[in-house]
Structures are given as C-alpha cells and as structure tokens.
Amino acid sequence: MSSQKIYIDGLALVEGHFSGIGQYILGMLRGFDELIDANQLQGKPMPKITVVIPRDKVARFQSFGFKHIGYRRVPFSFRIMSALWHRGMMPPLDLFCGKGTYIFTRFVGMPLLFSKSCVIIYDLSYELFKQYSNDKNTRFLNKYVGKTIARSERIITISNSVKREIEDFYHFPADKITVAYPAADQAYFYHRNDKEIAEVKKKYGIKGDYVLALSNLEPRKNLGGLVDAYSDLPKSITKKTGLLLVGVNGWKVEELFEKIVSKVSGGLNIMRPSKYVSDQDKPAIISGAKLLVYPSHYEGFGMPPLEALACGTPVITASNSSLPEAVGKAGTLIDSHDTAALTTAMAAALQDSEKYAKESKIAGPKQAEKFGWSKSANTILKTVSEL
C-alpha cells in the first residue's frame, strides 16, 4: 500500500460553484488527511495521494489547506479541460501524471494508457428518472457512463440503494462495488446558539419561524409537492411559521415558481433568502428551523437530512431510495407522492415542536455519528489498494 500512487480527478473540487460532488471530494480528501496523520503517528506507510487539477486552479486547491494531499497540474485551463472532458476528447491522463491508480470522481472518467482506475457514481437519476433530470446532462451521462464502467476495475458509490441499482442496471459484479458514505462533519454541523441564528437570519432577511427546504430547485426534489403540503396546513400554523426555500435554481423550475407566486399572492409566507447562502452559514440556518423537510422523489444519499440531524433539527423526508439509510430512525419518513401524508407529518411536528426538538437534539447527532469521512476514506483506500 505504501508505494502506491493514487491520482484523483479534481475538476469538481476546484470549480467556481461548489456542487454536491465537490463537497463529497472535499470530505473524502479531508478524511484521507486524517488517516495519513493517524497512520504516520503509528509509523504505518500510506500511499501518495495527488489531486489532478487544471493549470489555473492552484490557488483554489491550496485554499483547502490539505496537509498531506498534493496536486498535479495538467497543461490545460479549467475551461479547456472541462470542454475536453465533456466531449470525450481528453488525452490519456497518465501521460501527464504518470502510472498509478486513478479515481474518477464525476461519473465519467478520462482515458488512461497504462494505469488502473475506479469511478465514483452517486446516483442513477439520469437513467431511472430522466423526467426529473437536466436534459443536456442526461444525454452526456447516458453516452459516457457505461463506457467508463466498462474500463473501470471498481465502482465506488454512496449508498447501498445505489449499489443495488448499479448491479441491476449495468450488471456490474456486486463484489466490485464499494459503498463509501458521505458524512456530516460534526465539528461543523452542530446546533448553533440563538445569537448566531439571529445574526444569520438578519443577514439573509429571514423573519420569524420557518420550515426549511434545503436543496437545488429542480423537479426531483419535489418542492412543488412540499409547497402544496405546506399550503394545506391549518392557518393557525402557517400564520406563525413560514416556508423557507434555500438552494440555487436548477432546471424545469417554471411551474414551481408559478405555484409559489400564486400561493404568496394568496397570503402564504413562502420565502427565499435575500442572497446566496454560504456554506459557513448553513448550520445556523438549519439550527434555526422548526424542521427540515426533504420530500425528494429520489436520492443517491441525501445530505441535507443528515446535516439537519447533526444539528439536532427534526427531519421529515421521503421513504424512497437511499433516504432511509441516511436518516435511520431519527427522521420521519413519508411517501413522496402522498401530499396529505406530508401535511399530516408537518402538522404533527409543528404542533408539538418542543417535543420534536428535544428528541431530535439527542437522536439526530447519534445518527450522524454513524457516518464519518475518515471511515469512508479508509474504505476507499482499501478498495484501491486491491487494484
């Protein structure tokens, strides 16, 4: 294991807008850092881990402050490297970086001449739920994921639910698929105090009590169903408690916006923050919520519910795909297509909010403790050491 060289595709890590994939790569690398620290103290050898980045993203990479993770620049800018990757025209990556084991972090790999590789696949929405997906991205993934899998020695994924889907859809051997869960770092995601919550609410123009929806605005997240369920709550609840939608605009959102405008004009308090919410302010916004509701139709894992549990905030989420794995018994599960059931669950949580809050402050962090970046990093290292 000690002489092994591991190269990690870092495009999603260094891009401007930090996606869920970028968060996963960052967590994985920080987990590697922790492992290397611990093993070096014990005198155990570790592989050399290098992130492959475009030539113009060194400062961005260095801003993360890794202790033991190095980088290797390729002779392309971010824009050119991304374009070549999207068109399937990247030259073999090991010509620039050398022979080693490559981890491709975004569904689709790059050519290699004399190295082995594994690929991380986060979900199969582009195949199983095309109606909810971005059309352009779906076409790209439909074209290239299968080709990547065919030349990969292993697949890493983020839940047992997706592992089963990969087995069924791609007929890939189960013993060559590794589950390495995401995690909510509890040094960061924990319940914040009233003063910090008040400051963050003021910063983003958030007034009063609120139910929180935290996700990209796209059809798969079922925010239209959430708006309908919230609208059906008793007026005594909606007068006191608004619905706060936090997340960037995705695709196919016109119908959702029309619905929101209609409901707001009818007197409902449906809010969005006054500006983009930074990652550093997320824990306070989560902590300030009466509950987080995440009624998604499909997920590869479902980070917002786990982050909310880590902060001790009550969670209502869907009973489909990977979401039961993420929340365990610490959250309330409903059918994402059953709007009435969602309304009932929200009403119960809001009418007895003190009880739900007290229980969640204990059960939530306990559930979050089951996941850890160093655990998942160790799982990934074991997987690639077998190649």
When pLDDT is averaged across residues 264-270 and rounded to a whole number, the result is: 93
210: tokens are 């609120």
Tokens 């006054």 correspond to: 274
Amino acid 134: pLDDT: 85
Residues in the chain: 387
Helix (H, G, I), strand (E, B) or coil at 24: helix
pTM: 0.94
Amino acid 199: pLDDT: 98
- Encode pLDDT of 40-94 as tens digits: 878 788 899 999 999 999 999 999 999 999 999 999 999 999 999 999 999 999 9
Handedness of CA 372, 158, 174, 154 (dihedral sign): negative
- Encode pLDDT of 207-228 as tens digits: 999 999 999 899 999 999 999 9
Looking at residue 85, its amino acid is W
When pLDDT is averaged across residues 268-291 and rounded to a whole number, the result is: 95
Question: CA 157, 162, 166 angle in degrees (round to 5)?
Answer: 90
What's the mean per-residue pLDDT of the chain?
A: 95
When pLDDT is averaged across residues 175-196 and rounded to a whole number, the result is: 97
What domains can be seen in the chain, in order of their start residue? 5-183+372-385 (3.40.50.2000), 194-368 (3.40.50.2000)
- Encode pLDDT of 283-299 as tens digits: 999 999 999 999 999 99
Residue 1 pLDDT exceeds 50: no
Strand partners, 333: 317
pLDDT top residue among 280 and 3 = 280
Report the C-alpha gap between 308 and 292 in whole angstroms: 7
